[in-house]
Amino acid sequence: MNRRTALKQMALGLGASLTQLAHGQRPDKGLAGERAVVNGNREFATDLYGQLRDNRGNLFFSPYSISTALAMTYAGALGQTADEMAKALHFTLDRSHLSAAFATLAANTKSLGKKSGCELFLGNALWGQHGYHFLPDFLNQVRKNFDASVNEVDFVGHAEEARHTINTWVEKQTKEKIKDLLPSGVLTPDTRLVLTNAIYFKSTWQSPFNQKTTREEAFTLAPQEKIQVPMMHRSADFGYVDGGSFDALDLPYAGKELSMTIFLPKKVDGLAEFEKTVTSGKLVEWLSQLKSSRVDVALPKFKMMVACNLKQALSRMGMASAFGRGADFSGMTGSRDLFLSEVVHKAQVDVQEEGTEAAAATGVVMERLSLSPSVRTFRADHPFVFVIRDRRLNSILFMGRLIDPRG
């Protein structure tokens, strides 16, 4: 290669790097993997929302928490179980690159929190049955790529004590916002592994609402049903888009690295219709259309706690085999002895004039497969023949019969 050709290639490489930087990208291999995980998580988020939207009342969950907990589980899945999980969770990378990409995403997410001055904590942990054999490769992978602590508890003899230990860890990770993640009875003597993820976020608004302007105003629950709630007010420049059937508003948090984006149907009873249009692609499209505009904002103060069991939703999304006798998590133990029994999730959000506090946690509960689906009876209550043998070679050492046990 001559010098002119080398300089040309260097210039092309530099130009590509500058183009990436101009679009807020970094010219490194880790970025592609991280983006693949982010895109997949977004697809998963909208798919899961579609499964949960028919539930009554408020809905709030952390797709990041759920996806991360299931990604740790996926690290030990093989065969059809792994294929189904990858499809449902929108994992497009191979196993090693996926885990590394989750590690990159977690590190960058934590860095983002520090950069913006908000509180943003992420935590992972594994809780395995004391003395149960888990493959070193599996444990090392979740330690390395998910920064997960590996702990031993006794589900067999002290399931309630183990539940208390895990719930206490979750409370600590979420500053006591998520309590009793694992409800009573969810752990049994057959439980062998619980994988947990916790996330906590707290930040002030970039432009806080003035408490003096908050006043009781009407909030429409349905066309003929209204209630009075504390409504916050703020007039400032915000990202905004008129989407035709809805308006979208982007409220940035301090540092402008994170924000809350609100999609408001124009019809007071238009939520259900709007929810049907929400897809990952549409979200990306709508967010790209946000433009700075002067907006008078009225937003209710609100606080909610939502708990849900995701077993049925995840099964409907295509990973049914993970919850049944056909589950293959042999990448965890070397044998197909585990299946998912529950995936529980709990999330809380509190929106006030100063900012937002939110927390969520996910628990993936794995049980041992029972190897005796039917029970046979053997009653030696009449004369019989017997042998004493060498099992290795089937050599008969003794042979006899019993007619009368009295001798």
Tens-place pLDDT, residues 332-371: 999 999 999 999 999 998 989 999 998 999 999 999 876 4
Rounded Cα–Cα distance for residues 320 and 314 (Å): 7
Unique residue bearing structure tokens 């539940």: 163
Rounded Cα–Cα distance for residues 237 and 384 (Å): 92
pTM of the model: 0.84
Asked if residues 187 and 163 have their Cβ atoms less than 8 Å apart, the reply is yes
Rounded Cα–Cα distance for residues 390 and 386 (Å): 13
Ramachandran class of 175: left when φ > 0, alpha when ψ lies in -120 to 50, beta otherwise: left
For position 72, what pLDDT does the model report? 97
Nearest by Cα to 330 from 160, 138, 52: 138
Tens-place pLDDT, residues 234-244: 888 989 989 99
pLDDT-based confidence at 13, cuts 50/70/90? very low
CA 343 to chain CA centroid, nearest Å: 9
Asked if residues 27 and 15 have their Cβ atoms less than 8 Å apart, the reply is no
Rounded Cα–Cα distance for residues 160 and 81 (Å): 29
Q: Which domains does the chain have, with CATH numbers?
A: 20-204+303-368 (3.30.497.10), 215-300 (2.30.39.10)
pLDDT at 229 over 50: yes
For position 383, what pLDDT does the model report? 59
Angle at CA of residue 135, ends 130 and 138, nearest 5°: 110
